[in-house]
Amino acid sequence: MVLFGNKYQYFGVISARSSFPITFDIVIFQPKYLGRLLVYYVLLPIILNIKSRSHLLQYLQGRMVKLVPLCSTLTTFLEKQGDYFKKICQSMALNVFNITFVVTF
């Protein structure tokens, strides 16, 4: 699970859908839901840990998100928790759209 944002103040969550090849879903939501998201998932420690350990390159421009391969620890975590996180995010989101893509190693 990776939380990201951009200068337009949209935030998103990346979660895994399948194991191989790994497919991720991205949920984009407005910033007023950010606090509630952090409370539900206790993401702050995870985010800080991911930034220091993974080879993650991310940016958000319009509706485009690019990723480079993730570390195996993050991948395993996403595989186990992705569906649950996505359902909760979708229930909170005001303007949600999903982007599905494949990460190769």
Average pLDDT score over the chain: 42
Taking 50 as the threshold, does the pLDDT of residue 5 lie above it?
no
Q: How far is CA 14 from the centre of its chain?
A: 2
Q: What is the DSSP letter of 94?
A: S
Mean pLDDT confidence for 52-58: 35
The CA–CA distances, whole Å, from 82 to 6, 8, 32, 42, 62 equal: 22, 25, 22, 15, 23
Asked whether 82 and 16 are in contact (CB, 8 A), the reply is yes
Q: State the total domains in the chain.
A: 1
Report helix, strand or coil for 88: helix
Residue 84: band (very low, low, confident or very high) from pLDDT cuts 50, 70, 90: low
Q: Which domain holds residue 90?
A: 2-103
CA distance 49 to 45: 6
Which pLDDT does position 23 carry in this prediction?
A: 44
